[in-house]
Amino acid sequence: MQASLASYAAAAMPTLDLRPEMAHAHQPAMSPSHHAWDGNGAAVAPTPMPKRLDGKVAIVTGGARGIGEAIVRLFVKHGARVVIADIDDAAGEALASALGPQVSFVRCDVSVEEDVKRAVDWAQSRHGGRLDVYCNNAGVLGRQTRAAKSILSFDAGEFDRVLRVNALGAALGMKHAALAMAPRRAGSIVSVASVAGVLGGLGPHAYTASKHAIVGLTKNASCELGAHGIRVNCVSPFGVATPMLINAWRQGHDDAGDADLDLDITVPSDEEVEKMEEVVRGFATLKGPTLRPRDIAEAVLFLASDESRYISGHNLVVDGGVTTSRNLIGL
């Protein structure tokens, strides 16, 4: 049977030899400006960063931490007013109040239709009836124990639980976002799928099925919603050292039986983040950069903004080439 990325990671992590330059392996601070260079390569005065979502209203599900938090922060930097829709009240409220009045939090379980509708209603009532961007980012990985990963011990309840959040949640988001966007004949829906929606062997069965479902839903919904001026795309990340991936590694280690660890993920330590990033770098085709939440947020920002105004039905894979090649001939 194929093992998941997390279980490979679990096997690899104890023997890691961290390079000193990785010891600070966290997201660099984002600058509100960017530097221009003159013809001799010398820096000239910083120019303000163009705001690519200026005046737009966005909802980010699962925006309280991890990749979703990075999306929220980048959207705000680019001038958006953002609603964080999450089940983690404490983290969501804290992030919203840290980022200022242009950000608010609404409790929303994406697998519950009334919650999704309420989040959309909240965004519209707060922001003059607008909704420009809906990011379906909330997701769960499901259990990582050996039994949970085998199709021979397939658990219908687990499958249902993961599909309800990842696939049903994305479909409900598309529905209510589209209903809100259609009257203005504009909008961008961006879902966060996964490389597990492209290739087998990168996640548990339920997760893999759910992420393939998001890619399919993206194509189908874009087909229908194009007539209303609404674009529908998705982004598929490779491994990012968020609480989700690190929690999976922890489960791989203690083979945690029936524990529902998805909903009880503790904040990873710096050391865990560094080790996980080293593991992911080891699997990567593109050597050099470390995949970070900010990289996924940049891809989502592109699809959310008018820069991608003619792109719809697309799956933007952010994996440094992992899913497009297998080097069998020593290239």
Ligand X SMILES: NC(=O)c1ccc[n+]([C@@H]2O[C@H](COP(=O)([O-])OP(=O)(O)OC[C@H]3O[C@@H](n4cnc5c(N)ncnc54)[C@H](O)[C@@H]3O)[C@@H](O)[C@H]2O)c1
Catalytically annotated residues = 207
CB 109 to ligand X: min, Å: 4
To ligand X, the closest distance from the beta carbon of 280 in angstroms equals 8
Closer residue to ligand X in complex, CB, 62/187: 62
Assigned token pair, 323: 């899913």
For residues 180 and 265, which CB has a smaller minimum distance to ligand X in the complex?
Answer: 265
Q: Phi and psi (nearest 5°) for 87?
A: -90, -10
Sites of contact with ligand X (CB under 6 A): 61-62, 64-68, 86-88, 108-111, 137-140, 165, 192, 194, 237, 239-240, 242-245, 265
Residue closer to ligand X by CB (options 88, 132) is 88
Of 79 and 302, which has the nearer Cβ to ligand X?
302
Q: Which helix (H) or strand (E) holds 48?
A: strand 43-48
Residue 326 CB burial class (10 angstroms; 0-12, 13-18, ≥19): exposed
Residue 131 and residue 151: Cα distance in Å, rounded?
41
Smallest distance from ligand X to CB 115, Å: 8
49 burial via Cβ count (<10 Å: 0-12, 13-18, 19+): middle
Q: How far is the CB of 92 from ligand X (least distance, A)?
A: 7
Which DSSP state fits 195? G
What does residue 47 show for φ and ψ, rounded to 5 degrees?
Answer: -105, 150
Distance from C-alpha of 240 to C-alpha of 168, rounded to nearest angstrom: 23
Tokens of 249: 């590694």
CB of 55 to ligand X, least distance (A): 26
**Which is nearer to ligand X, 36 or 90 (by Cβ)?**
90
Other CB atoms within a 10 A radius of the CB of residue 253 amount to: 16
Query: Residue 209 class from Cβ within 10 Å (0-12 exposed, 13-18 middle, 19+ buried)?
Result: middle
